[in-house]
Structure formats: structure tokens, C-alpha cells
A and B are shown apart, each in its own frame.
Chain A
Amino acid sequence: MAADQLSVGYPGRLVWEDATFDVRSGEFVAIIGPNGAGKTTLFRLLLGLIPVRSGSLRIFDRTPQRGSPRIGYVPQRHTIDQSTHVRSFDLVRLGHAGHRWGFPWSGRRETEAAMQALAAVGASELGERPLNELSGGELQRVFLAEALASDPELLLLDEPLSNLDLRRAQELAGLVHRVVVARRMASLLVAHDINPLIPYLDKVVYVANGRVASGPPKEVLTSERLSRLYGVDVEVLRDSRGNFVIVGGEGHTEGEIVGGEGHHEGEGGGGFGPAGVHP
């Protein structure tokens, strides 16, 4: 996909403008930025749910098409309703053919697609369990399988790590990366906590102050850039075990903690630039 001088807005409000960036097949991309900056808006644009205001956006060399089976989408979601006593397998199967009208004959292809998608995220055994009994990490895997069931080429994940503790977040990030590589997809991932993604990142897109820009992780993830991005003074702190956190200077907490365990440096080659990660 490629964006060229792209602007987007709702009636009476410009969300951001003049965005130029591209994502190539096989890339693993994080989207960061403060709350309300328009990260989800970018996804809605790619899904063809809202129109481009100006500039151009091409995806698979076309303008975004609503309902494209080539895009898998996992929206931001906090929980599933406690009364939803419905087998996970059925949700994954809907990811393959749920948009189709007509009498729901039980198709073998549908079932196979769902089984493959669950197997791809290592969740075959979750398929038989009801959605309302799954933990946050298990649900994210089922949602990921649901998105994979249509065999997409581009994966859009909105805050998939938000309700997970650090270990689960790292596991899920690794899982998404394995799937993306194995299926030769591109993936865009909105994240507040970018640390679990650092080993795998090819590119960072940042959305803030009405602008969108992108670059390699090394250039973007510096304290200077992050300070500008979130609009507050950002300082990099390191603890005795080599973990580091990035703290906002005005007492904000949410959204500024983007650090984590230093040993990721080197594994992915991305690194945190001059902020200093090494214990």
C-alpha cells in the first residue's frame, strides 16, 4: 500500500493531512501516536469505510475497496459479552464467510479455512471452547484466527496487545510475526506499548498533531522524536535490571510507557537509538 499526500477528516474536522508513506508486502509495521490522533482512522481508511479527503491512497494498486477479502482486520476490543456462550470455532468460520448472504449450508471449505486459521495461531484447541470463557490472550488469538480465515494479504491489528501483560504481549507479538512471515503478508499494528514489537519491526508509522510520518525504528524511537510525538517532555529512565521506561515530564502515564526489557536490542536489529537501551 502507498499513501501520497493523503488527508482524511470527518465533516468539520480534519484528522490529519499530507501523509506520505508506504508499506510493502512482507513488512511488519507499528503505528504509534497519542490517543485520538487518528490511528484507527487510518485503518478505517484502508478498509474503505471512510473516504479519502485529498491525496491518494493505493492498496494492492487500487483505491481501498470496502469488504475486501484481502484485508484481515482485528478491531480494538476490550471484552466479549459475558453471556456470549458461543463456540470460538463458529466465530472464526464467520471470518471466512460471515458476510455472505443466502442459506448457510455448512461448507467444507469454510470449516477447513477456520481450522487452518486456528492452527496457524496455535489455537486449535480453543476452537471448541466458548468465547465467554476465554482469557484476554486466548481471545486475541481467536480474533487473529478470525481475521486470517479469509486468507488476507494485509493484516490490520488495532491495539491487540492492550489488555495483555508483558509476557503475553511478547508471545502475541512473536505469534503475529511468525504468521505474517509464514503467509508472506504485510501487517500494520497499532500499539501503545511498542516494546514487545521491537524485535520484529521493519517500520514505524507515527500519527500525531495532524501529521503522519514513517521511518525505520532506529530513527523514530528516540527521546527527542517521542517528546515531539506526544507533545510532552519525554525522558528515558532505566531500572537496575536493564528495563527502561519512557516517562512523560508532566505526570502523564498512559501512552508514554513504551519501554521494556533491554535484551530485545540486537535480537531484531531495530533498537531504540540514542535513548540507550543497554543495561
Chain B
Amino acid sequence: MSFSPDLIGDVLAMWRYPFMAHAFEVGTLIAIVAGAVGYLVLLRRSAFAAHALAHTGFAGAAGAVLVGVDPVFGLLLFTSVSGTGIAVLGQRAAQRDMEIGTVLAFMLGLGLLFINLYRGGGATATYSILFGQILGIGDQAVLVTLVAFLILVAVLALTYRPLLFAALDEDVAEAKGLSPLRLGILFMLLVAAAVSMAVQVVGVLLVFSLMVTPAAIALRLAQRPRYALAISVGVALGATWLGLFIAWYEPYPVSFLITSLVFGLYAVVRAVQWVGSRSMAPAVPLPAD
């Protein structure tokens, strides 16, 4: 397919193919969730935990393929169990990385075992878990993703303020009657569900491109949590749509296009801010007390 001047016509043509329509539908839902959860992930400094959950998801998905059920169920089971485990074991930040690293390594090994035991197109399954398979999404997966999306967005909306409070100021939040442990578990379950969804699009290795990079861009651009959330979701959405759009014309993997787009935007933002801070530096007085 070559690039044509009639972009709207092209988009309409894309959507006539069920696999493209599904990709846009699922990609949209996932970008919204990943962008929003990603902002809290960064504020809580839990990027490594999110990363580990994605790799845990690899073991879950591989196990599901082995026993012959939809990988998404294996993903959800493994990520929520390890998410809860990480939240309970690693309540103190200093400890957290150790616990996460331990669980992460074990889970990757387990995933390898499952892949090895599975005899029948193991390579294809592995590949799609690792790097996503957004162009191969069926009707049922769209429905599952939609249900997961609605639940996640509702939970996130209702628990957003305490989660934000605990992310910014855990000690005061605790004094105000919130339980850091319960909030930690709730948060990790949200991340687990978001990761399980996002794996379909970008795969476990590239989950960060939807969960962390858009949020990192937002954190740099906006000070107000509300605006930052909007930017994070917007960047994730834009990259997903544009990635799918380009993939229609060019033979590159969608995951690669999405990761490159968000990375490119991040690089531009950093560069512009760096230049801005250098040129402004003499004019800005040192912060005074």
C-alpha cells in the first residue's frame, strides 16, 4: 500500500478490514489506560515494578498457551498475584527493588520453561507475547479488552485522589487514615490489569513505551496532575494511532513504530527544554527561600 493524498479515504479503507478496525479499537482503549496508570507509576517511582509485572505476564501468557486458554487470562492471573506480592513484600522503597528483581528473574525462567514444554508453534506464540500482536486481535479479545477498560477506568476514577495523595506524600496520607499497604496492593492490581491489556499491543518487552514514556513526557510538560494525565493519555493515543496508520503503508512492526514515536517525542521535549533552560539560565534568579 502506498501513501495517497486522500488520507481520510485511506483511513476509511483501513477500517473496512476487521483486523485494522480491531487494532484501532483495542489500541485506543489500551492507550487511555496505559497513559493514565503510567502517570501514577512514575509519581510512585514504580517503573521497575511495572516492568517486572510485564515480564511476569510473559510467564503467565506462556503458561496459558501451554494449557490451552486465552493468554490474557494467564497474564491477568500472574501479574495480579505478583503485583500483590510485590506490594506486600516491598513496602519500603529501599527494599522494593530487591524483591522485584528476585520475582522478575524467577518468572522469566518459568516463562522459558512453559515455552519449552509447549510443542506447537511455540516460537510464534513467544514472539507475539514478547512484541505484541495488535494486528491479530479477534472479536472476543476486543470484548474482553472493552470490559477490562470499563472496570479499570471506573476504579481509577474512584480511587485516583487517594492514590495520588499516597504517591506524593505517603506519610501524611497514612496519618489521614489511608492504609499504605492497601493502597499499594490496589495500585499494583491496577498496574497488573493495565500491563495485561497493553501486552496485546506492544508486548511485554515494549510495555514501557505506552506506560512510562508518555507519562514521562507529561510529567515534564505539565505541573497539574489533571493536565499531566491528559497529556500522558494524549501522547499514548497519538502514538498508537499514528503507529497503526504508518503500519498500513510501511512494512515495519507496529510495536516498533509506536515505541519510536514516543521515544522521538520524548527526545524532542528534552532537547527543547534543555535549550530553553540554557538560554533562560542567566535571567532566572537562584531560588530564594
Contact = CB atoms under 8 A, between A and B. Distances in A.
Contact of B165 (A73, A84, A98, A136): A98
B177 interface: yes
A50 to B, nearest CB: 11
A151 interface: no
A207 B270 CA distance: 50
Chain A contact residues (Cβ within 8 angstroms of B): what range? Answer: 35 or more
A75 B172 contact: yes
Interface stretch (B11-19, B129-137, B219-227): B219-227
Contact of A168 (B158, B159, B289): B289
Chain B interface helix/strand/loop/mixed: helix
Nearest to B168: A91
Interface stretch (A2-10, A99-107, A113-121, A184-192): A99-107
Nearest to A91: B168
Contact of B176 (A85, A87, A99): A99
B177 to A, nearest CB: 2
Interface stretch (A127-135, A213-221, A256-264): A127-135
A47 interface: yes
B19 to A, nearest CB: 36
Contacts of A171: 289
A198 interface: no
B42 A83 contact: yes
A128 B223 CA distance: 9
A42 interface: no
A81 B168 CA distance: 9
A90 B225 contact: yes
B110 to A, nearest CB: 33
B178 A99 contact: yes
B224 A73 contact: no
A146 interface: yes
Interface residues of B, number: 31
B157 interface: yes
A43 to B, nearest CB: 9
Interface in A49-83: 49, 66-69, 71, 73-75, 77, 81, 83
A67 B175 contact: yes
B173 A103 contact: no
B160 interface: yes
A81 B159 contact: no
B250 interface: no
Contacts of B172: 73-75, 95, 98, 146-147
B285 interface: no
Interface in B130-180: 157-162, 164-165, 168-169, 171-178
Chain A interface helix/strand/loop/mixed: loop
Contact of B175 (A71, A87, A131, A137): A71
B219 to A, nearest CB: 5
B160 A104 contact: yes
Nearest to B172: A73
A77 B174 CA distance: 14
B223 A87 contact: yes
Of B160, B177, B178, B220, most buried by chain A (CB within 10 Å of CB) is B177
B151 to A, nearest CB: 15
Nearest to B176: A99
A100 B161 contact: yes
A97 interface: yes
B162 A100 contact: yes
A172 B279 CA distance: 34
B81 interface: no
A137 B171 CA distance: 19
Of A81, A128, A133, A150, most buried by chain B (CB within 10 Å of CB) is A81
B43 interface: yes
Interface string B83-107: 0000000000000000000000000
B159 A98 contact: no
B169 A146 contact: yes
A90 B164 CA distance: 10
Given A67-B177, A101-B162, A83 B169 contact: no
Of B159, B175, B287, most buried by chain A (CB within 10 Å of CB) is B175
B168 A94 contact: yes
Interface string A24-51: 0000000000000000000000010100
Interface string A192-208: 00000000000000000
Contacts of B168: 84, 86, 91, 94, 131
Of B171, B224, B289, most buried by chain A (CB within 10 Å of CB) is B289
Nearest to B171: A75
Nearest to B177: A67
17 contacts: A49-B175, A68-B177, A71-B175, A75-B171, A85-B223, A90-B223, A94-B161, A94-B164, A95-B172, A98-B176, A99-B173, A99-B177, A99-B178, A101-B158, A101-B159, A131-B168, A171-B289
Interface of A: 47, 49, 66-69, 71, 73-75, 77, 81, 83-87, 90-91, 94-95, 97-104, 128, 130-131, 133-138, 146-147, 150, 168, 171
> What 3 pairs across the A-B complex have the smallest Cβ distances?
A67-B177, A98-B165, A137-B289
